[in-house]
């Protein structure tokens, strides 16, 4: 069984080859040059460019790449599943559906499930990792699709950003709010609701924002003994390690996994963002 994902999942480059996952890169344009995310540019280069005044632009997986990969799958006769970046944050999911329908006209025996994760960054990455584990266990395509949809629907995302200006450029907050927030060191806390990134609270200062995020973890996650917690950061490993230590001390989770936020999401949230991911109280594997 083939597993496809796109670079919105923010898994490290080595993961795809080591686990036989086909990466479909989103694209990022920096200083008038377009790159395939992960494959031809890494996120550190993008953050360095942002700090030097660049304003990266991003775009979805190319339809041509979907066509190439889905036709290859159809010809192989293997089943496949594409777990997609949230449809509320990218047009990639809808393009994949369109291309699958196109391929089905020529190859009606194509077996390809397409799942809208409605997740982002490592929250999405944890869903992909679960699909890989299910495949290793010999789980059928239909069952993987069902289990992945359930996991994705109960994956919590909590973010805070270092600089509101990046969210203002993307329309998440007003420019006036960003200016005032910068003066007062206001840090928004955001989460993902039905695939959309939504501001939920504000805190004065970064450490207070993280403290509140940990309280929200307690409220939403309950017992973490059997949970994997994900942390992603936009080029601030030292602070991410502080957050990791706080989570381990307070919750003692089964594991904590950490990664850098990739070029595409990083282009919209900017350097210094910290995000935490975990399943909610309702989730039962």
Q: What is the dihedral of CA 171, 175, 176, 177, to 10 degrees?
A: 50
- Find the radius of gyration of the CA atoms of the chain: 19
pLDDT at 184 over 90: no
Predicted local distance difference test score (pLDDT) of residue 165:
64
Dump pLDDT digits (tens) for 237-261: 999 999 999 999 999 999 999 999 9
Dump pLDDT digits (tens) for 52-62: 999 899 999 99
Give the rounded percent of residues in the chain with a pLDDT score beyond 90.
Answer: 80
pLDDT: which is higher, 180 or 121:
121
pLDDT, the chain, mean: 91
Q: Name residue 36's beta-bridge partners.
A: 27
Phi, psi of 37 (to 5 degrees): -55, 140
Predicted local distance difference test score (pLDDT) of residue 284:
80
List, in order of start, the domains of the chain with CATH numbers.
2-26+59-153 (3.40.50.10440), 155-279 (3.30.1180.10)
Q: What is the dihedral of CA 253, 259, 263, 266, to 10 degrees?
A: 50
Average pLDDT of the residues in 26-37: 95
């Amino acid at each position: 069984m083939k597993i496809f994902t796109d670079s919105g999942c923010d898994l490290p480059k080595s993961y795809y080859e080591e686990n036989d996952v086909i990466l479909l890169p989103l694209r990022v344009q920096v200083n008038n040059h377009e790159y395939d995310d992960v494959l031809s540019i890494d996120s550190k280069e993008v953050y360095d460019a942002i700090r030097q005044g660049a304003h990266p632009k991003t775009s979805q997986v190319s339809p041509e790449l979907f066509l190439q990969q889905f036709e290859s799958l159809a010809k192989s006769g293997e089943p496949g599943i594409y777990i997609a970046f949230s449809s509320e944050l990218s047009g990639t999911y809808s393009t994949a559906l369109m291309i699958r329908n196109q391929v089905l006209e020529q190859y009606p025996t194509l077996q390809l499930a397409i799942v809208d994760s409605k997740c982002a960054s490592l929250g999405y990455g944890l869903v992909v990792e679960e699909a890989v584990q299910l495949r290793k266990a010999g789980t059928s395509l239909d069952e993987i699709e069902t289990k992945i949809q359930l996991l994705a629907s109960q994956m919590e995302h909590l973010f805070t950003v270092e600089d509101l200006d990046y969210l203002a450029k993307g329309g998440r907050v007003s420019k006036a709010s960003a200016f005032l927030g910068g003066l007062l060191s206001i840090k928004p806390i955001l989460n993902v609701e039905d695939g959309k990134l939504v501001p939920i609270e504000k805190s004065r200062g970064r450490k207070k924002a993280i403290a509140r995020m940990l309280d929200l973890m307690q409220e939403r996650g309950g017992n973490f003994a059997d949970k994997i917690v994900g942390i992603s950061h936009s080029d601030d490993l030292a602070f991410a390690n502080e957050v990791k230590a706080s989570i381990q001390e307070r919750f003692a989770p089964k594991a904590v996994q950490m990664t850098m936020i990739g070029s595409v999401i990083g282009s919209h949230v900017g350097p210094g963002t910290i995000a935490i991911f975990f399943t909610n109280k309702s989730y039962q594997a």
